[in-house]
Structure 1
């Protein structure tokens, strides 16, 4: 995604619009993709007017989500996904669609149950995320992920304060890929594009501690912005009913300042 897909999208947009730069707005893993792209393909920094990171994910050592309980068995989960599902996790299928419909959308009690599953994983915010949003949300998410990507993220949790390339599990395998027994860190100092970090203090995945660990390492930071709503959590960036006053207006303000 970071080495090929995002650069291809950026080049396509620039060619179609006849522009020199794009503004990249990412959420969660979308921010991780940007950091990896701009550190490993630094020439793309010149094509970025600014990057706005919503719920930034580089470091995950302080995450408090219930998914942290799965980190110790992440290698087993990874091998199972590879064996049974060809390396794909929760890809959309008629079976998954029907299961989500049966367990989460048929009545209000089911919607409340699945709303609380969202809260356990991402952070609790019943003021912004109502049960009635659950059917629409599950119509789009989960949308599938690479098992390798998820396993890679678990390595960020297992190794606090590190943002490094994929660990293949043994010094010998890492030597084959990196000429080093341990994976190299991503070079954050190579991310020379302007970057603003926008986060919620109730985010169980992209915690305030981890966001603040990243910010001073960025060469060209333009804003460390905490959403002014104490319960604001990870998925509020796509689900919050008051998104405009809580953070969208701030995004527009930043975009207008770049012109």
Structure 2
């Protein structure tokens, strides 16, 4: 995906008659990745592995909102699921390729239930409470998320079984590491070592600024786990920052609160190439937008 973005951008620059390479061989555009949860873990994996392979990652900055990777500080439900996945993986992987809602009929049924949850506050409140207990008291708007447009009868998000298994492996190992293929021989084939790569040990390869954000009310990925990313990066000499908001896990992507938007924009404006004249203008527009929302 990132390479495709690079291809498109360089093509656009050529069409416009602009140089596609600068004097120091750096790319002529800035690309910032803003990721949440699993996306944050995936981008960290991407940057570290590309640097190990000595290939350009094309990114200029990472803004990671409650990134996954470390999960040992979690509730009893997640711990139970961890042991269940690890114990049943050889069997489940053969019969459950992914976690999703199969067939158009069942997706339509779930979509209808989601609408009912929103139309009947008492029912929706009950489901919200039950979901919050399942995920350790996280107060995210779980019912509201089901009403988003991409949850429909024609298509619906799913999670690969092996992604879930990878999360269980990381939680069990208490490390942020690559997928364990189950045997030293298989790992040797993929990684060149009997054990999966411990990504935390390679944080020194990260050569771009990283902004980590945690939610104080997030019980899916608790602040202590985001702080672990921060400490490892800081110890490895990465240019990293850490911030917290009074958010639950899904609030980062679902609520669209002004303070988070302003924070993300402020970090993006730190990218090279943003002039001092641009900064007050953007801050002013954010302020005006906030005043309009409050009114």
Same fold (TM over 0.5): yes
Q: Give the equivalent residue in structure 2 for 1:209.
A: 224
Q: 1:220 aligns with which of 210, 225, 238?
A: 238
Q: Give the equivalent residue in structure 2 for 1:148.
A: 162
RMSD value over aligned CA atoms? 2.9
**After the TM superposition, which residues 22-171 of structure 1 pair with which residues of structure 2 at under 5 Å, given as runs?**
22-42=31-51, 43-45=55-57, 47-64=58-75, 66-85=77-96, 87-90=97-100, 93-106=103-116, 107-119=120-132, 120-121=134-135, 123-125=137-139, 129=141, 134-136=146-148, 139=151, 143-160=157-174, 162-171=175-184
Q: Give the equivalent residue in structure 1 for 2:18.
A: none
Change (3 A) 1:110 1:203: same
- The alignment partner of 1:53 has SS state of strand
Report the Cα distance in structure 2 between the residues aligned to 1:9 and 1:66, rounded to whole angstroms: 39
TM normalised by structure 1 equals 0.80
Contact preservation (8 Å) 1:174, 1:180: yes
- The alignment partner of 2:111 has SS state of helix
Note the residue ranges of structure 2 that are not aligned, 5 or more in a row.
14-27, 275-295
Give the Å deviation of 1:57.
1.4
Q: Give the equivalent residue in structure 1 for 2:10.
A: 15
Report the Cα distance in structure 1 between the residues aligned to 2:50 and 2:32, rounded to whole angstroms: 17
Report the Cα distance in structure 2 between the residues aligned to 1:244 and 1:223, rounded to whole angstroms: 20
Q: Give the equivalent residue in structure 2 for 1:173.
A: 186
Q: Give the equivalent residue in structure 1 for 2:19.
A: none
Report the Cα distance in structure 2 between the residues aligned to 1:138 and 1:113, rounded to whole angstroms: 23
Q: How many residues align?
A: 244
Change (3 A) 1:122 1:20: farther
User: Larger RCO: Structure 1 or Structure 2 (Cα < 8 Å, ≥ 6 residues apart)?
Assistant: 1
Moved more, 10-19 or 111-120: 10-19
Contact preservation (8 Å) 1:62, 1:209: yes
Report the Cα distance in structure 1 between the residues aligned to 2:56 and 2:270, rounded to whole angstroms: 21
